[in-house]
Structure 1
Amino acid sequence: MRFLLVLGVALCCFFAASAFSTAHRPGKLNPNHVPSSACVDMVPVHNDSVASSDPAPYVLTPSVSQANPGDVIQVVTSGINGAKFKGLYMQARVVGAGVDAVGKFMQENEERSPAVRISSCPPGEKNAVSYISRTGIETITIDWRVPENLPEGMHNVYFRATFLESFSRFWVNVDSEPIFISSDGHQKH
């Protein structure tokens, strides 16, 4: 009887230790890593962490300054002077039109990198993209499709991102230069 009790305690300790070590072992991260609550303010909920007030060591660089509805453009997200990031959350927004994300991030982004996930922020679909990894990177290129219909009189779109250097160190409201979107399918001269 004592043997069974000792064996039971030993097995419980073994399973508890296994569960703990598995939960904290480096490996794949949760693919659904950005909650929908981040759609508006784009601030990660990481305990009591607050965004850095230092200038962001990252930039967003669209491949064009002008585009037509339906065009696919690339946005290069990169660190300045070799700065690396482990997380990114990005949307495109219309200048002066609030916080709604517009356009669509292309499925090919997920196919190129398993650390990239496309998500939806209402009222749109596939209008947010995230990257998360345990290993920091200096740059990643993301493909985005210009929306077919922008709000009346709105023709400038910009990209806004949150970059994570680590769990507790991150920057919000990192914006790209605006892109002019033609309302009639012709480039602005």
Structure 2
Amino acid sequence: MNWLTDAKLVAAVSNAGGLGVFGPNPSQTKMIHGAESHMNQMRHQIRLAKQLTDHEFGINIVIEDKPAIHMNETLKVAFEENLHYFAVVGDPNQAVYDQIKAHSGIIIARPLTPTIYNAQLAERLGADVFVATGYDEGGILPQSGQGTFTAIPMIADALNIPVLAAGGINDHRGVNAALALGADGVYVGS
């Protein structure tokens, strides 16, 4: 959902009762070069979404190694625009979590390959919600061979924070199955 998550989609999801979340490149039809141009586009989309909804929405933060120019600039814009929900994609990172918490942010931890270890680490570092993802998701696939409905109970049993299920959930039956296996909600996208 990297490019598809424009202000209209994010606002529509939030207006419908979900939490719309911007991907890393909202509303782009071509690659934007340069951090400043990219962040101006992000800021424009956030402000447009605020005009389209009175509800909260969030933003993806993709953990980057140094130099983490894109990640840091995205965080800066999100903080300046007073966003509170951060879907943090990648392994738990104390420095990033601390930055978000310092701005009263809510962390939705989403490692690319969820394990009991990184789930418990994310919780210890301050994650508020954890996403249990299986290989049946779209986008970047986890490195383990377990499906979502195997990952959900394993992760849910290991944590004291809410767990969202992601991957292969396409209708109410998938939502019901995820809830029955211990998820507190679902995280859907691609």
RCO higher in structure (CA 8 A, sep ≥6): 1
Q: TM-score, normalised by structure 2?
A: 0.25
Structure with the bigger percentage of strand: 1
Q: TM-score, normalised by structure 1?
A: 0.25
Q: Based on CA coordinates, which of the two structures has the bigger radius of gyration?
A: 1
Structure with the bigger percentage of helix: 2
